[in-house]
Amino acid sequence: MKIPFYTLLGPLIEKNKHPLITICSHPLLSFSQFHVAILGIAGMILSVFDTWRIIRCGHILPDYLHKEGLKKGKIISAEAERDCKLISLVLSTEYYFFLLVGLATNNPVFYMPFLVLNALIILSEPAIFLTEMAIGGFNLKKRTLVNLIIIYNWLNVACSFAKSLSHCDL
């Protein structure tokens, strides 16, 4: 099966196949398909649980579910915050499900929603980091570790994606 946008992605992947193989052969990424299975199952469970928890709370979220900067409707209303959280949770449930389907069927197309959405997150993080550094100076936060985990997960999914590609996909 041709991957979407194969006229764009196919030549790019074909040209960079050897660096991709080198990166994916690193010992930390050698169990990428197992890691993707654990990531997909854990992501599905957590996303469904959070969706159920937010729906159970009603139209307005209780105080313990609000973001710090969004308390008491200062920036957006409580209903809008709840709706945004539900939308993001449904999307995350969907792309974790697609990871599991891609792993089960060995079809690289199903990895693409996760890869694209997390690539956007990874690419936006340096701008956020530089802005915070310009405003408040350099300090390491918990978020730095979370960002490293996001990059590690993305690399595992990318390696699993590369392993599921066949020559006819390119």
Spatial neighbors of 55 by CB under 8 A, at least 6 apart, are: 86
| Best CA proximity match to 43, nearest among 85, 123, 98 | 98
**pLDDT score for 70:** 47
Determine the 3-state secondary structure of 117 from DSSP.
Answer: helix
Nearest-angstrom CA–CA distance, 100 and 79: 32
As a residue count, the chain comes to 170
**pLDDT score for 22:** 87
Domain residue spans of the chain: 6-169
Query: Whole-model pTM?
Result: 0.79
**pLDDT score for 99:** 94
Spell out the per-residue pLDDT of the chain, length 170, in tens.
Answer: 555 556 667 777 778 778 888 888 899 888 999 999 999 999 999 999 999 988 888 777 666 555 555 455 567 777 888 888 899 999 999 999 999 999 999 888 899 899 999 999 899 988 887 887 788 776 667 777 888 899 999 999 999 998 888 655 55
| Best CA proximity match to 61, nearest among 43, 86, 92 | 86
